[in-house]
Amino acid sequence: MAVQAPTAPADVYAEVQHFYARQMRDLDSGEAETWAGTFTEDGAFKPPSLPEPVRGRPALTEGARQAAAGLAAAGETHRHYVGMLTVTPADDGSLTAESLVSIVAVPRGGPARLHLVCVCRDVLVREAGELLVRDRVVTRDDRP
Amino acid sequence: MAVQAPTAPADVYAEVQHFYARQMRDLDSGEAETWAGTFTEDGAFKPPSLPEPVRGRPALTEGARQAAAGLAAAGETHRHYVGMLTVTPADDGSLTAESLVSIVAVPRGGPARLHLVCVCRDVLVREAGELLVRDRVVTRDDRP
Amino acid sequence: MAVQAPTAPADVYAEVQHFYARQMRDLDSGEAETWAGTFTEDGAFKPPSLPEPVRGRPALTEGARQAAAGLAAAGETHRHYVGMLTVTPADDGSLTAESLVSIVAVPRGGPARLHLVCVCRDVLVREAGELLVRDRVVTRDDRP
């Protein structure tokens, strides 16, 4: 068997779990600016739908606002579930966090449905004690 | 960025994760009295379907029994998944635990389906070393 | 109320969460031999579809290869989500880990769908510092 890369200790793991719970709650609540503030100033987010990453908090805020407006117009709420999380410390002090993310769509009046599943690979760094995303790459299983 | 409220340390977070895994297992197994015993004596549970909370272990037990009987009559099992959990200590020693809960319905013969998604906000207190729910408020995204 | 069995401390709980995230990632990626290496040499896996457990790494590898080939032929990816995990230490040093596992199927082109939900009961042991499954029993709610 291959030797596994060491994983983050329990306190860091719990901190990262809290980080995602709050970050996704901000996103799903339409708190676009708060959500963008969980990235570094020049943080990059490469979603599967775009050829290039969205970079920097103003662009991230704008993207989240547009997504929230689209959902509001459609009368839907999205809920992101992060699961199957691994957190691996790198030599430079950053953390690589890999997870599965399920998005559940809830139309007003129901029923809820599984919208899509994606793989999220983040590089997290700590600034002034807070974890922030420096780089996020999201991929989907249903797209080439 | 706003400063985040401090979250529970890793040992408490793991304890709360275990608490929910067991509590929901009791509920989904129809162990109504055991489930009600995870609330304080005067614990309150405000589900989205009722205008007032159910209060106290006898009423909680009866509610869980009725729910289990309804599922048995329908030939279905429900499974509650708690995710996206944050645990925040309050000054009085209680814990505020917020989570997303997905309920999967499994009819005998299948297939499983996503039944609904709700937000659960609990106040947890410790009595004789055990965590108990003092107050639970559950809301749904698909209802006004 | 019944006194609860003591649960694993936070560091072990985080380790087991990482264990499952990696083990299921191996399985879902078709890394059959790596996946089988997360069982002990004589590890047993009793799935709901078979009358007897699959035993030993060569048989486990072969089973995972066949499953991966079937999915590839069907143009689907499966993703296993482990949730509602409890980890309980036994007197012999082993850990009993119980969880709900949701399997999401993602056809090429989408949409993702909930495939099935099962209950996983593992006995985990530590060999040379690494956690391994000695015994796995998986049951389904939709089957007698």
**Whether pLDDT at C5 is above 90:** no
Give me the residue label for tokens 């003591």: C6
Buried b (16+ CB within 10 A) or exposed e, B58-95: eebbebbeebbeebeeeebbbbbbbbbbbbebeeeebb
pLDDT score recorded for residue A40: 98
* Chain C neighbors of B107, CB-CB under 8 A: 142
pLDDT score recorded for residue A121: 98
- Amino acid of residue B52: E
Question: What are the angstrom distances between the C-alpha of B46 and each of A76, B91, B131?
Answer: 24, 24, 19
Task: Please compute Rg for chain B using Cα positions.
Answer: 16
Residue in B84, B102, B116 closest to A21 by CB = B84
CB-based contact B105:C116 (threshold 8 Å): no
Structural domains for chain C = 10-140 (3.10.450.50)
Question: What are the angstrom distances between the C-alpha of C92 and each of A121, C34, C126?
Answer: 38, 27, 11
* Cα B88 to Cα A139: distance, rounded to the nearest angstrom: 32
- Beta strands (DSSP E) in chain A are 39-46, 54-55, 76-89, 95-107, 113-127, 130-140
Q: What are phi and psi of B95, to 5 degrees?
A: -120, 135
Question: Which secondary-structure segment (H or E) carries C100?
Answer: strand C95-107
Band of residue B96 on the pLDDT scale cut at 50, 70, 90:
very high
Average pLDDT along chain B: 95
**Is A40 at the interface with chain B, CB within 8 A?**
no
Q: Counting runs of H as helices and runs of E as strands, what totals does chain B give?
A: 3, 6
Task: Report the percent of chain A where pLDDT is more than 70.
Answer: 97
* Cα C38 to Cα C95: distance, rounded to the nearest angstrom: 15
* Chain B neighbors of C9, CB-CB under 8 A: 11, 14
- Return the structure tokens found at B112: 């499983």
**Whether pLDDT at B1 is above 50:** no
* 3-class secondary structure per residue, C13-44: HHHHHHHHHHHHHHHHCCCHHHHHCCEEEEEE
The pLDDT of A13-32, averaged and rounded, is 98
In C37-123, which residue ranges form alpha helices assigned H by DSSP?
57-74
pLDDT score recorded for residue B4: 67
Touching subunits for chain C (3+ Cβ pairs under 8 A): A, B
* Structure confidence by residue, pLDDT tens digits, A25-44: 999 999 999 999 999 999 99
**Whether pLDDT at C132 is above 60:** yes
**Whether pLDDT at C142 is above 90:** no
Band of residue A1 on the pLDDT scale cut at 50, 70, 90:
very low
Distance of alpha carbon C78 from its chain centroid, rounded?
13
Angle formed by the axes of helices B10-28 and A10-28, nearest 10°: 60
pLDDT score recorded for residue A134: 98
Band of residue A92 on the pLDDT scale cut at 50, 70, 90:
very high
Task: Report the percent of chain C where pLDDT is more than 70.
Answer: 97
- CB within 8 Å: B130 and C100: no
Average pLDDT along chain A: 95
- CB within 8 Å: B2 and A106: no
**Is B78 at the interface with chain C, CB within 8 A?**
no
**Whether pLDDT at A65 is above 60:** yes
CA–CA–CA angle B20, C83, B125 (5° rounding): 15
